[in-house]
Every structure is written in structure tokens, then in C-alpha cells.
């Protein structure tokens, strides 16, 4: 049931949406669903060949219109070119999904300064570049729009071994909440999604290489005992980018099966206690009343 499309047909009809990093993984899943809901789509990333293949597949699957534009989000001029090409083809842009990211696991002390800043530049500077270029355009055109930032749950908590990503995603969260207030008056809504584990090749190759995927099984960390389905994320993204969420601004919605709270609650480790022990523990805690 959870992998069924959620919104009604034509929910995004007439909308034009840009998805950065839209040629693979979660960006591809979100873009495909936006097309099914009637949107026009622009997908961007560094690898034009990957984008063009995805665009062809998306158009064949959905009958929608997809423009593939090569763009390294770290380069502001390339981002401005995406905007110019989108305007030339579709005449307007209504939504931006900042989904492009870079990440890999490493003890922080092993990172070069360039390795650290590469991740910050893709995730934080890239998101800022896109948001700034499109935001300036919308404000000068007096056009309402919706920005959706894809962060992670460790934007709230930090995380060892992915520290550049955690710093950058934390920055994107601050950007989300800041601009929601500052740009609300222009009719620009800014929201974020914090996904838990959704197995994609891009993420798993860099976060769980080799047999780490079996050794560090995400499913066991999630209270619901499963990973996410791409369509579940696409459903949430379509809602947040659409006018149906028109009064939601500055929100970050977690979609992780409860994973990050599982790690946070002080007594959550009691999950390990076998159920037959609870009678004895209850007697002991009740006995504490008289002590």
C-alpha cells in the first residue's frame, strides 16, 4: 500500500519543477512522480549522459516533458544557465527541489581540507546557489514558488563518519527555516524532507561499500524494521511542492520509520529486554514504592 501514488491525477498540472541531481536515485523517483501528476520537469546534474538517458526513460514512461541540463551546482553561472534554459523551454518555473548531494564515509581526521570542502560545496553551497538564483528570479517576477530541500535526519543530531555532510545538511536546515520567514512575504514557501534510509546505488556505494551493507543493516535500526520505499518519499515531495501544502512553510518532515528517535530516547535500549523478564522487573519497580 505504501508504494502507491498518493495525490490525485493532475495535482501538478501546469507546474514546472526543477530537480537537482534528478538523473538518479531519489531525485529520479521524485521527478518521475511529478511528471505523472502533470508537471513539466527539468533535471540537472554533472553527468549529461546519465540525465539524457533518464529523461528519455521518464518521457517514455509518463508522456511528460523533461529537459535535461548539465549543471554542477557548485558553479553559480551554471545554475543561472539552468534557469535560462528552463524559462526558454517552459516560460516559467514554479518549484525547485534541492536534491543534489555528495557524501562518503570517512574518519574525519583522514579527510583533506579539499575533501571536506567538496561535500560542503555540493550540499550547502550548491543548495544556496540554486535557491539564490531561482529566488532572485521569482522575487523580481513577483511569482509564487515552492522550494523543497532534501536533508537527512543527522542534520538534527550530527553524525560521526559523515561529518562534512552533517555540517552541510545542518546548514541547509538553517537555510530552510530562515528563508521560510524572510521570503514568505513574496509567496515563496521553503520546506525540507529529512529521509532515513532509502537504498539507492549512489548512497549505498558511498555509505555501505562492500559487505558493510550486511554488517550495518539499517533495517534493524528502524522501529518499523524496514527501509523506505522511493514512492513514499515521492508522495511526500509531491505534496510539499504542490499547492495542496500551501500553508506549510518552514517545516521539515522526517520520513525514517522512527529511526532517529530510536537512537535518541534514553531508555530505548530496553527494547533488548526479553518479554518474559518484564514480570520480574515490574515486581522490582513496584517494590521500590516502600523503600
Active site residues: 154
Q: Which residues pair with 191 in a beta bridge?
A: 148
Distance CA 121, CA 127 (A): 9
Q: Does 203 bind ligand HXC (CB under 6 A)?
A: yes
The only residue of 27, 31, 64, 102 in contact with ligand HXC, by rule CB under 6 A = 102
Q: Which three cell numbers stand for residue 268?
A: 530505548
The only residue of 122, 173, 238, 241 in contact with ligand NAP, by rule CB under 6 A = 122
Q: Among 88-96, 190-198, 208-216, 239-247, which window interacts with ligand NAP (CB under 6 A)?
A: 190-198
Q: Which does 33 bind (CB under 5 to 8 A by kind): ligand NAP, ligand HXC, none?
A: none
Q: Does 70 bind ligand HXC (CB under 6 A)?
A: no
Is beta strand 40-45 parallel, antiparallel or unpaired with respect to 252-255? Answer: unpaired
Q: Which does 251 bind (CB under 5 to 8 A by kind): ligand NAP, ligand HXC, none?
A: none
DSSP state of 226: S
Torsion sign across C-alpha atoms 28, 33, 35, 39: negative
Nearer to ligand HXC, 187 or 258 (CB): 258
Q: What is the CA radius of gyration of the chain?
A: 21
Which residue blocks in 92-188 are alpha helix, DSSP H?
Answer: 113-120, 126-141, 154-157, 163-182
Distance CA 219, CA 228 (A): 10
Q: Among 90-98, 105-113, 133-141, 228-236, which window interacts with ligand HXC (CB under 6 A)?
A: 105-113
Residues counted in the chain? 291
What is the biggest distance separating any 2 CA atoms in the chain, rounded to whole angstroms? Answer: 78
Taking the complex as a whole, the smallest distance from the CB of residue 155 to ligand NAP amounts, in Å, to 9
Distance CA 34, CA 59 (A): 12
Distance CA 24, CA 203 (A): 11
Q: Does 203 bind ligand NAP (CB under 6 A)?
A: yes
The only residue of 35, 101, 145, 151 in contact with ligand HXC, by rule CB under 6 A = 101
The only residue of 15, 36, 74, 137 in contact with ligand NAP, by rule CB under 6 A = 74
Where do contacts with ligand HXC occur on this chain (CB under 6 A)?
101-104, 106, 110-112, 114-115, 118-119, 152, 165, 197, 202-203, 206-207
Where do contacts with ligand NAP occur on this chain (CB under 6 A)?
20-21, 23-27, 45-47, 50, 71-74, 99-102, 122, 126, 150, 152, 195, 197-198, 200, 202-203
Amino acid at each position: 500500500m505504501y508504494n502507491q501514488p498518493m495525490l490525485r491525477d493532475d495535482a501538478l498540472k501546469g507546474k514546472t519543477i526543477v530537480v537537482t541531481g534528478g538523473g538518479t536515485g531519489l531525485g529520479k523517483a521524485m521527478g518521475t512522480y511529478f511528471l505523472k501528476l502533470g508537471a513539466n520537469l527539468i533535471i540537472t546534474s554533472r553527468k549529461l549522459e546519465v540525465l539524457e538517458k533518464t529523461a528519455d526513460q521518464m518521457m517514455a514512461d509518463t508522456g511528460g516533458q523533461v529537459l535535461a541540463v548539465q549543471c554542477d551546482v557548485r558553479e553559480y553561472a551554471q545554475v543561472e544557465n539552468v534557469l535560462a534554459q528552463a524559462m526558454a523551454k517552459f516560460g516559467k518555473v514554479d518549484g525547485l527541489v534541492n536534491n543534489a548531494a555528495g557524501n562518503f564515509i570517512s574518519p574525519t581526521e583522514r579527510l583533506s581540507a579539499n575533501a571536506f570542502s567538496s561535500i560542503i560545496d555540493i550540499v550547502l553551497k550548491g543548495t544556496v546557489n540554486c535557491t539564490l538564483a531561482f529566488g532572485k528570479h521569482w522575487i523580481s517576477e513577483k511569482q509564487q514558488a515552492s522550494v523543497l530541500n532534501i536533508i537527512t535526519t543527522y542534520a538534527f543530531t550530527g553524525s560521526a563518519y559523515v561529518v562534512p555532510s552533517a555540517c552541510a545538511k545542518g546548514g541547509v536546515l538553517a537555510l530552510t527555516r530562515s528563508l521560510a520567514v524572510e521570503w514568505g512575504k513574496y509567496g515563496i514557501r521553503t520546506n525540507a524532507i529529512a529521509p532515513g534510509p532509502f537504498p539507492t546505488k549512489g548512497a549505498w556505494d558511498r555509505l555501505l561499500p562492500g559487505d558493510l551493507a550486511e554488517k550495518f543493516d539499517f533495517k534493524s535500526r528502524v522501529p518499523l524494521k524496514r527501509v523506505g520505499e522511493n514512492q513514499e518519499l515521492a508522495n511526500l515531495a509531491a505534496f510539499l511542492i504542490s499547492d495542496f501544502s500551501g500553508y506549510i512553510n518552514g517545516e521539515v518532515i522526517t520520513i525514517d520509520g522512527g529511526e532517529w528517535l530510536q537512537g535518541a530516547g534514553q531508555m530505548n535500549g530496553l527494547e533488548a529486554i526479553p518479554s518474559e523478564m518484564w514480570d520480574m522487573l515490574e515486581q522490582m519497580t513496584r517494590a521500590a514504592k516502600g523503600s
